[in-house]
Structure 1
């Protein structure tokens, strides 16, 4: 456990934090939601507002009380095992899905002639997660854990089915977005339900099981997805998830009782529910998603599909800027319970934690995006083999998280560990730049392990830094922003890596094939279809693969830059006494 820093520590708080509670003080604080990234936190079980929020009213506080007086007491019997086991199945599926897409992305986008747009299979999923994840906890308070969890599983199932049935690239991308809306709930509600059902003394143990299930899912997803893509087609890597999630829905309906709903007469009152719905920051979620989408479209279109001076680029950029401004105003002045704590961003501990989280995730996600593609291009490996090459990074991430927890518990120090994590990432990416030049051996393929190790260390250590640097009353909203920052980092990493890969590949091929008959056709097909690249022979293949290798190097330079920035921000981190 992390004790609160002493009052002398510089921790963000508002004036209301210093005053005694009154009739306008909300009775429950919010819960930090578990993001797609695995998280070490498990704090409070109700997701409402936090003490000191001047926008909360006495009616809303009463609503919270009505919804909490009948909260189930922690159980110690075997029913806990059954309930949590269902949640572990969901964690496994959600994390396996991410690795499945990374392993099969090249095949899916090549078959549909959109290899240069392949990153959108990841981006659409993560955009959906960023938009809806912060609202799931509050929705579960309003409609009950059981109903909300079934809703999340159902969305994920529909999304996977649409991905499998999609006839065009963008139909598959739409399915990924719907799956993202569901996947956000499958992971974020785990912390809420564990806190509901498990005695406080056992929370850390069950969180450990969640991390194990997540790690196993990420490790198994790539090889399983690749194997299915090789043997019966990539569509079945999505179809096969549907019976698993349907099974999870049935188990939730069976194992999870109705005591998770707000079943008091007052809580069922329509006026009470309406007030609770009004407290959910839907406007913030929508404007955030529009802002991120706009800027990603500018990066994707500008300089490649359209010239930077094209009017459409400026229209999209302007719309994104307006949406971003609206998001800031909504979070600062309109939202009763904002999804992103802008008012805390002025505080050093919060700002450094968010920046490091976004930067280190962007660095690692950029590498994870390119690893399967690298081996498919340079070694012509199967999708199964390409998925297996993700394992060292996934394993390193899990080990890093565990090591960080053990070391921090023994030393009560996290700043040095954060810097060492960044250095581990930097070493990994330098090795990739220098040594991954085609014909990579099995031992050299392990160079991605230090990157995963560093990411795992930093994810745990920086979260501890955030917890040590803020008041307990601010921890819930701060940690929600922390995981949102990490998810935004994943979006940035995948998008920027994809754009660097495509832009440098086109440029390299144009220079290498200038004056060659049929060169334009080769460039177009080489950028959009891995199958075409692997069908080439002789000198032409050497030229195309060489251009790919140089493009991969540029993406690793991007990851190196992000990791170096994370290190520099870590140097400015203030260490509090634990």
Structure 2
């Protein structure tokens, strides 16, 4: 207990700490080790009490989870519309990568921050920052302002995911965790299912800006729900200066620099050529900065956000790699498939968003099913391999469907992609927690989200580079060689609405080019899915206690 470590008298050891019950309805003594790992704790034989606590916890955080899901798919559906209005379609991948960049660097910090300052305080901070970011997105006047605002929103979004997952690990036995995570994923599914079509509908009617502005009052509701219903103890230690020294800002800054160098290098390479000076410098600097990050975390940081014993543990690293490559693969598909619907097949934004709904619902249903299977069997290894096998073997048929313009087949294969990813997320996180030491639970969860968001940002950037490279080559080969053709090429890369004003033969050539370019964007996704599948075979088996 924190009081004991701080040298407080024994009588004060009963004071509330971060290991105390997280909700008012909870009992006075919660064995966090047992809650996280299912070792016959009071929770294990007090199922009714646990259910009562969870019935308070889930509504309190549900609004925030819904917001995170809505936000990610609002931008996916409105991707082309935003790029058209800002005349920056070829740079639109930065709207996603700027969000994931700050998400990546902030998520692991929340693991330590929640231990230092408290779970509730970190969650409230996350909601407030996310609201400010959404407001900035709605008021942005150019692509730079939009990306900066998305970066601010990413700082908030990092906590909205990670802190909730940490609290869930505090509350429930590990064997039950997959089921309760599945319930939270149902809320996420509701946001995912409505986010894409609503985002597209807004973009086609009152404007894409309202996709962001409408989230601000919902953020306020989420903040109030957590403030009022999530009853958690305050930290006894109020020395914020000492607390801040425990947070690894140097490591986070090095991570941002490393990822940014890689993403800028990929962006410059796809738009200006791979021999461009900025491309060479950034891509050369990226591995150096990643090596520096490892050194900082292993030798310099006194409280590393990604401790070496947590990252390189034999029982954990396979799960992290599966998260990195599997989630990255899924987000690359999710981000570029709607662009194919709009630029390659001529659908509007609302229809493109609606076509994603079956996959969103199927993915979360698979997540709940995966959690249920773990609860029934106490095993996660085989389900994890099966999940990522479905993901890997579904992307190639999806690419073929794009080539054939078979919209129904595209929707069906995306359903399979989502099933594999959705189930795999639940089973992989359960595997990580099963192999983690009790005292490392919060850090392991945060590192899991670190690898997810890092994989997402790098995968989207890789797929964007592939798409732009293939698109330029396809347009150059399909359009007649002339100055007018070069102008058309530049215009349609920045604004797909220009396709509507082109002569039918030229418009057909441009749409065909976008379809082939989408297949190029799916190639990195396929490669990452295969690597994720291979990594699952190294996940350490463990049977969970009843």
Range class of TM-score, shorter chain: 0.7 to 0.9
The whole-number CA distance in structure 2 between the counterparts of 1:474 and 1:256 is 23
Match of 1:126 in 2: 100
Residue equivalent to 1:374: 340
Please point out which of 165, 170, 177 is paired with 2:139: 165
Contact 1:152–1:181 (CA<8 Å) still a contact in 2? yes
Residue of structure 1 aligned with 2:221, choices 229, 243, 247:
247
Q: For 1:459 and 1:72, locate their aligned partners in 2 and report how far apart those are by CA, in whole Å.
A: 27
Please state how far the C-alpha of 1:253 moved relative to its aligned partner. 4.1
CA separation in 2, counterparts of 1:103 and 1:346? 37
CA distance in 1, matches of 2:175, 2:294: 39
Task: Give runs of aligned pairs for residues 394-543 of structure 1, distance below 5 A.
Answer: 394-437=360-403, 439-442=405-408, 444-516=410-482, 518-543=484-509
Number of the residue aligned with 1:106: 80
1:67·1:141 contact (CA, 8 Å) conserved in 2? no
CA distance in 2, matches of 1:443, 1:502: 25
The CA distance in 1 between the partners of 2:429 and 2:222, in whole Å, is: 30
Match of 1:361 in 2: 327
Structure 2 partner of 1:91: 65
What CA distance in whole angstroms lies between the structure 2 residues aligned with 1:205 and 1:366? 27
- Secondary structure of 1:507's counterpart equals helix
In the comparison of the two structures, how many residue pairs are matched?
516
User: Could you say which residue in structure 2 is the equivalent of 1:21?
Assistant: none
Aligned position for 2:233: 260
Structure 1: how far apart are the matches of 2:134 and 2:65?
Answer: 16
Q: CA deviation at 1:489?
A: 1.1
Structure 2: gaps spanning 5 or more residues: 27-51
Q: Decide which structure has greater helix share.
A: 2
CA contact (8 A) 2:137 2:149 kept: yes
**How far apart in 1 are the matches of 2:245 and 2:376?**
45
The aligned residue for residue 246 of structure 2 is 279
Q: What do residues 385-405 of structure 1 show as CA deviations (whole Å, max 9, x unaligned)?
A: 111122232222212212222
Compute the displacement of 1:424 (Å): 1.2
User: In 2 relative to 1, CA 342–138 (structure 1 residues): closer, same or farther, beyond 3 Å?
Assistant: closer
Q: Which whole-Å deviations, capped at 9, do the CAs of 1:450-474 have from their partners, x for residues lacking one?
A: 1111112222222333334444444
1:208-357 alignment runs, 5 A limit: 208-256=182-230, 260-262=233-235, 264=236, 267-268=237-238, 270=239, 273-305=240-272, 307-357=273-323
Label 1:563 to 1:231 Cα distance change in 2 as closer, same or farther (>3 A).
same
* Deviation, structure 1 residue 498: 0.9
Q: Following the alignment from structure 2 to structure 1, what is the Cα–Cα distance between the partners of residues 242 and 358?
A: 48
Cα deviation per residue 1:264-292 (whole Å; 9 max; x = unaligned)? 4xx22x3xx33222111111111111110
CA displacement at 1:240 relative to structure 2: 0.8
CA distance in 1 between partners of 2:74 and 2:464 (Å): 18
Flag the 1:261–1:382 CA change in 2: closer, same or farther, 3 A. same
How far residue 449 of structure 1 moved from its aligned partner, in angstroms, is 0.6
Cα distance in 2 for partners of 1:97, 1:522 equals 33
Change (3 A) 1:334 1:196: same
Offset, 1:191: 3.6
Deviations 1:90-141 (A, max 9, x none): 1101111001011111111121111111111111111111111222244344
- Runs of 4+ aligned structure 1 residues displaced above 6 Å come to 64-67, 77-80, 195-205
CA distance in 2, matches of 1:506, 1:566: 30
Alpha-carbon distance change, 187 to 419 in structure 1, aligned in 2, over 3 angstroms: closer
Are residue 155 (structure 1) and residue 104 (structure 2) matched?
no
Displacement of 1:155: 1.2
Tell me if the contact between 1:84 and 1:194 (Cα under 8 Å) persists in the aligned partners.
no
Shift of 1:203: 6.9
TM-score (norm 1): 0.81
Once the two structures are TM-superposed, the CA of residue 88 in structure 1 deviates from its matched residue by: 0.6
Q: What is the TM-score of this pair, normalised by structure 2?
A: 0.86
Q: Which position in structure 1 is the counterpart of 2:31?
A: none
Residue 196 (structure 1) shift:
6.9
Does residue 116 of the first structure (1) align with residue 90 of the second (2)? Answer: yes
1:181 to 155, 158, 180: 155
Query: Contact 1:372 / 1:387 at 8 angstroms: preserved in 2?
Result: yes
Mark the CA change 1:173 to 1:438 in structure 2 (over 3 Å): closer, same or farther.
farther
**Pair 570,207 (structure 1): closer, same or farther in 2 beyond 3 Å:** closer
Q: 1:313 to 1:243 in 2, by over 3 A?
A: same
User: Are the counterparts in 1 of residues 107 and 162 from structure 2 also a CA contact under 8 Å?
Assistant: yes
Give SS of 2:316's match: helix
Contact 1:125 1:178 in 2 (8 A): yes
Return the alpha-carbon distance in structure 2 between the equivalents of residues 482 and 128 of structure 1: 15
Cα distance in structure 2, aligned partners of 1:541 and 1:141: 56
Output the CA distance in 2 between the equivalents of 1:561 and 1:527: 25
Q: 2:527 aligns with which of 558, 561, 568?
A: 561
Shift of 1:516: 3.9
- Cα offset, 1:443, TM superposition: 5.0
Q: Identify which range, 390-399 or 312-321, moves more after superposition.
A: 312-321
User: Residues 131 and 457 from structure 1, CA distance in 2 versus in 1: closer, same or farther, beyond 3 angstroms?
Assistant: same
